[in-house]
């Protein structure tokens, strides 16, 4: 199965509070994934995770209502086998997490993001 086929069989959850960023990256991901669910905060993201059980989670950290790190902790309690990518503008220690498989700093290089998603999907499928 090649890169395109693997991504086209993948479901994702993308959580980002900045509407324009969510729309642009969401459009990019929707064209590549089988299905993509989007939320604007961690609480909504957690509810979508419970409802759809996506293959991968991509999230921002700083968001209203529930931040990304708290959402990740809740997701890992439900299912620790899900790959998680954090996308953040922050590079300080407070915005790092050992709960995530990858941390990508904004601005996002879409090619790098897709490569990381692909590699994580392969890694988790082998487990």
Separation CA 94–CA 29 (nearest Å): 27
Per-residue pLDDT tens for 22-46? 999 999 999 999 999 999 999 999 9
pLDDT band at 13 (very low <50, low <70, confident <90, very high): very high
What does CATH list as the number for 3-125? Answer: 3.40.50.2300
pLDDT at residue 1 in the model: 57
pLDDT at residue 50 in the model: 98
Separation CA 25–CA 80 (nearest Å): 25
Per-residue pLDDT tens for 55-102? 999 999 989 999 999 999 999 999 988 999 999 886 655 555 677 898
pLDDT at residue 91 in the model: 66
Question: Which SS3 state, helix, strand or coil, does residue 115 take?
Answer: helix
Report the chain's mean pLDDT, rounded to a whole number.
Answer: 89
């Amino acid at each position: 199965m090649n890169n395109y086929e693997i991504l086209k069989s993948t479901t994702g959850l993308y959580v980002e509070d900045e509407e324009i960023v969510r729309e642009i990256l969401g459009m990019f991901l929707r064209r590549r994934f089988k299905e993509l669910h989007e939320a604007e905060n961690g609480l909504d993201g957690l509810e979508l995770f419970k409802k759809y059980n996506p293959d991968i989670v991509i999230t921002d950290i700083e968001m209203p209502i529930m931040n990304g790190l708290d959402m990740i902790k809740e997701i890992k309690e439900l299912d620790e086998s899900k790959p998680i990518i954090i996308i953040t503008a922050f590079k300080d220690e407070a915005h790092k997490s050992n709960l995530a498989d990858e941390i990508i700093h904004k601005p996002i290089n879409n090619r790098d993001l897709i490569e990381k998603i692909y590699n994580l999907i392969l890694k988790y499928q082998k487990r």
